[in-house]
Every structure is written in structure tokens, then in C-alpha cells.
Amino acid sequence: MSLQWHEFANKDELDLNLAHSIAEQLKQAIAERGTASLAVSGGRTPAGMFKALRTSPIDWAKVNITLVDERWVPNDHADSNERLTRENLLQENAAAANFISMVNESATPHEGLAGIELQLNVIKWPIDILILGMGDDGHTASLFPNAIELEAACASTNLVAAVTPPAAPHQRITLTLPTIAQARNVLVHITGTGKKELLNTAMQEQKAITDLYPIRRVLDQVKSTAQVYWTA
């Protein structure tokens, strides 16, 4: 089964349409269950979408927001996904949402895991909406190819796992593959022709591809429902 792609003329159109879809899904979750939950990715791609989403007229006080993954840095660090989310999403209407951090005072994510697992229990799992990015190496969340913890993070029954990226900076904490795959709605947010080609390559049928790209491992479990939002 092939993925469902939504393609847009430019980044502004993509950001507006993706923000609209997320807001509609949050509204629906609130209507059905009384509260809603959203996990967002960091990196360079989401800031514009965050700014479009934060003005949505929904009951943000009923929304729990957390991260798909975090770099193990203080939450005011330039590379912190929490800082990116606080500065760009948790503003205006969305300032009323409850944010659950993915870092604590522990020296390493491995030591901090149990505490984060407890913090995340505020959310009624499975999460309602989860937004994935994708790196140029086919990683998604912090499921990095060749990371020593990759197989454990793909098999774990915990909510989160610690990961050491082989090439990218900072140790990471990430939702595990089973946690991601159980999300009620998975949206993939990517830009650029290079990432489109990479995602198409990762989804090819050859068996040799399957284990190479973590994005493929995730999408194999959710591809009948996952939606890809893309612009060049």
C-alpha cells in the first residue's frame, strides 16, 4: 500500500494546511474523549507550522503537548526542541496548552528515562496526533540508523528510550517505535525534493531497504493511515 501524500505549492501553504488538519484532529479528540494529546518533532522544519497552529480557535486548555524526541540539553539551549516548541507553538491561543517536557536534571538520558516515563503518564496513551520529521539519513524521531540503542528502541514496551546518534550532536531521548506506531494519527512533515526521493527510496519493496531506514520501520506499521505533508 502506498503512502498518502499531500503536496503544496510552497512552505506557507504546507504550514497552513498541516496546521489546519492538526487543529481539526485535536478538536475531534476533545469532542470524543474530553482531552487531546499531540507529540511534535523538532529540528528546522516545524517552526512555520507551529506559528500557524498556535492561533487555532480550539480549547487548548484541554490539550497535552509533548515531543516525539528531544536532545539531552537544558531546555533553554539553542538546540532544545522544548525551547523551539515553547517559542513557536506555546504562544497566543496555544499558550493555554499543558506542555510535558522530555528532559530532567539527570546527567544522561539513560539515567533520566524513568523520570520522563512518569512525567509522560499525564497523557492518555495512545497519543492522538503525532508529527514526524525525517533526517537526510532516514532517521525519524531519534531512531537513528546504526545507533547502538536502535534495536532496543524499536522493540521496547516503554514509552521512551535513550539513543546516542552515531553522527548528529547530543544524546537523545525518543518515543519508542511501538509508542509512535500506536498513535491514533501519524503525520509526516517534510520539505525538499531530496527528502521526497529519500522517503520514496525508503518505501521501496526490496527487503534490503527495510532495516536501513528507521522511517521505513515506522511507516511499515502505520502506512495505511499515515499522511505525508510535503512541499519542495
In the complex, the residues that contact ligand 6PG under the rule CB under 6 A are 41-45, 68-69, 71, 81, 133-135, 139-141
SS3 115: helix
The CA distances from residue 109 to 100, 113, 131, 132, 170, in Å, are: 16, 6, 22, 21, 10
**In the complex, minimum distance from the CB of residue 79 to ligand 6PG, in angstroms, rounded to a whole number:** 8
Decide whether 62 or 230 has the Cβ nearer to ligand 6PG.
Answer: 230
SS3 130: strand
**Spatial separation of the C-alpha atoms in residues 50 and 93, rounded to whole Å:** 12
**In the complex, minimum distance from the CB of residue 150 to ligand 6PG, in angstroms, rounded to a whole number:** 13
Decide whether 97 or 199 has the Cβ nearer to ligand 6PG.
Answer: 199
Decide whether 28 or 201 has the Cβ nearer to ligand 6PG.
Answer: 201
Decide whether 38 or 58 has the Cβ nearer to ligand 6PG.
Answer: 38
The CA distances from residue 136 to 85, 133, 169, in Å, are: 22, 10, 15
Please give, one letter per residue, the 3-state secondary structure of 9-41: CCHHHHHHHHHHHHHHHHHHHHHHHCCEEEEEC
